[in-house]
Structure 1
Amino acid sequence: MFRQLRIASLCIFLSAGAAVAQEFWLLPPRFFVEAGAKINLHVFVGENFTGSRWPGKPTRLTSFVHYAPNDTLDLTKTASQHDTLSTSVELVRPGVHLLAFSTTNSFVELDAETFNTYLKANELERVTHLRQQRGETSKPARELYRRCAKTLVQVGPSRLDTVGTHAWKTGQPLEIIPEQNPYSLKPEASLTCLVLYQGTPLPATQIQIWQRVTGQPTRVSRFHTNKNGRVLFRLNGPGNYLVSSVYMEPAADRKAADWQSTWATLTFGIAGRGMK
């Protein structure tokens, strides 16, 4: 009986660890639409840029903002006023539209082995060192985690984007900002992204990039930001792209949790020839 309870507890811990380590992203039905299109933006959670619809309740939403060319629409109240989260967005003006979505904290407690593996997988060495200094390496960890997701949608021809909406700062706790407009780049061009935490560039931070093309295995690459919080990577042809990062620090209230993590993603599409 005791052994069965231990196995059950381990399964719960591993399942919780996997849930925390999963990515969280926004995915429109199409990244390229005509002016006036109305879309239902999908919120996904999973691994390897494949997943399922996020089951989160409207109360988990802290902000949902639509940055359109020359206009900003706060959709938070509209999206969360019903029992079911509403993510319907109307894309009226031509150009790049930026949609930003943030959640409240969730709590999870992980056993030492699961948490240490999680830190290693995401290259969160600073937290590993702090746990060593505190003598906590063999102790469970209590974590608060929140999500910040952004997506870019091209409305109409890409040549009509003149206001740089793609690079607007949203004020999310952790955000990934593309410094070039992905929709004006060729499929084999390079893209620079700036990673900010609380508005400050994050150096030496792992960035993961997934590329998904229908009918092909998902490709993943890993890079690190430089001392200025920037990362440069090459686009490997057409497809849907997901860029992600995570930052963890000691929790402000040690009674509530030991650690606070913040996850961020950015999604966009790169079209093949003749699609722009």
Structure 2
Amino acid sequence: MKRVSRLLVLPFVLLAGTVVAREFWLEPAQFTVLPGTTMQVRIFTGENFRGTHWKGHARRITQLLHATPTGLQDLTSPAADTLQTTLTFRQPGTHLVALATDNAFLTMEPQPFAAYLRAEGLEHVLAQRKERGEAEKPAREAYRRCATTLLQVGAPVPSDTARAWSRPTGLALEILPEQNPYFLKPGMSITLRVLAEGRPVAGQLVRVWQRGVSPAQPPLQLHSNQNGRVLLRLLSPGHYLISTVRMVPSSNRTQADWQSTWSTLTFAFSGKQ
């Protein structure tokens, strides 16, 4: 595996021939806060909803958005030298924070790349590589990250109808809920939409982690329907991480053969409503 920079997040590592995905997610210091709270929204990378702080540079961030009950704030600062994700949550209601990175690049040998594709449910890329006559050639990949998180400011109230939590933000790949998880009771279901460039993606593999579950237990795996939706039943309170990855042929073959986009959504489910 080719390492291009110490600051780039590797989307996977190779351990004894096994490909292990590395998720990238946003996680506030607390998912439920009082109005007026100033708090850092941390960026993590790791496996099984366990990770370390991302050490990427601020200039890698292409979007930093804060959707509030009263509107959308674009906090992106391309000229920033340091990454600032400490935000103030003033308005009561459910808030969404979204972040996206630019591309990083790597090259993999055929067999590790094939194993990685199978592990991530990207078998269609294997078929396309075979059609291109590239199955035995190294693969060049450009990868970028998109991450969103939902947090509740003040107590959930039915009058919070702004639906900032469900509105597309324009990320290259995003996972958006159609019900507010902070309003749901245990045993109720939440519908999640997978959107690529604002359009629903059918047949997309979606993985679900709940913090506190044994790492030996594999994540729940779902596939989106023709409208880009998956249905998840929330059985127990806790912190949830939803993830998906999409790979398509690169539009710039001088840089890479494939473009992958990784996306996550995090939220807390209290089940107290």
Runs in 1 of length 4+ with deviation above 2 angstroms? 9-12, 80-84, 216-219
Q: Deviations over 1:110-151 (max 9, x none)?
A: 111111011101111221110111121121100000001000
SS of aligned partner of 1:66: strand
Determine which of 128, 146, 155 is the counterpart of 2:144.
146
Long gaps (5+) in structure 2: 14-19
* Preserved CA contact (<8 Å) 2:194 2:229: yes
Match of 1:252 in 2: 251
2:95 maps to 97
Aligned to 2:16: none
- Offset, 1:34: 0.6
Aligned to 1:217: 214
Secondary structure of 1:240 counterpart: strand
> In proportion to residue count, which structure has more helix?
1
- How does the TM-score come out when normalised to structure 1? 0.89
Answer with 1 or 2: which has the greater Rg. 1
**Counterpart AA for 2:132:** R
Aligned match of 2:226: 227
Deviation at 1:272, TM superposition (A): 4.7
Q: Residues 11, 32 of structure 1: CA spacing in aligned structure 2 closer, same or farther, 3 A cutoff?
A: closer
Report SS of the residue matched to 1:39: strand
Instruction: Return closer, same or farther for 1:26/1:57 CA change in 2, 3 Å cut-off.
Output: same
Residue aligning to 2:51: 51
State percent identity of aligned pairs: 45
> Take 1:161 and 1:111, find their aligned partners in 2: how far apart are those partners?
51
* Residue of structure 1 equivalent to 2:122: 124
Q: CA offset at residue 187 of structure 1?
A: 2.7
Which residue in 1 is equivalent to 2:160?
161
For the aligned residue pairs, the C-alpha RMSD in angstroms reads: 2.0
Q: Quick check: 1:61 aligned with 2:61? A: yes
For structure 1, list consecutive stretches of 5 or more residues without a partner in the other structure: 1-8
Structure-2 change in CA distance of 1:170 and 1:180 (3 Å): same
Residue 180 of structure 2 aligns with an amino acid whose one-letter code is N
Cα distance between partner residues in 2 of 1:52 and 1:45: 6
Contact 2:193 2:229 in 1 (8 A): yes
Letter in 2 for 1:18: F
What SS does the corresponding residue of 1:76 show, helix, strand or coil?
A: coil
- Tell me: CA distance 1:56–1:168, structure 2 relative to 1, closer, same or farther (3 Å): same
> What is the TM-score normalised by the length of structure 2?
0.90
| 1:54–1:173 distance in 2 versus 1, CA, 3 Å | same
The CA distance in 2 between the partners of 1:28 and 1:187, in whole Å, is 23
**Secondary structure at the counterpart of residue 131 of structure 2:** helix
Aligned length: 260
Q: Give the 3-state SS of the residue equivalent to 1:137 in structure 2.
A: coil
**Contact map agreement 2:184 2:271 (CA 8 A) in 1:** no
Return the alpha-carbon distance in structure 2 between the equivalents of residues 10 and 162 of structure 1.
48
Contact 2:10–2:22, Cα closer than 8 Å, also in 1 = no
Q: Is the 8 A contact 2:206 2:224 kept in 1?
A: yes
* Residues 1:18 and 2:20 are matched in the alignment: no
Moved more, 128-137 or 24-33: 128-137
Q: 2:95, 2:150 within 8 Å by CA — same for their partners in 1?
A: yes
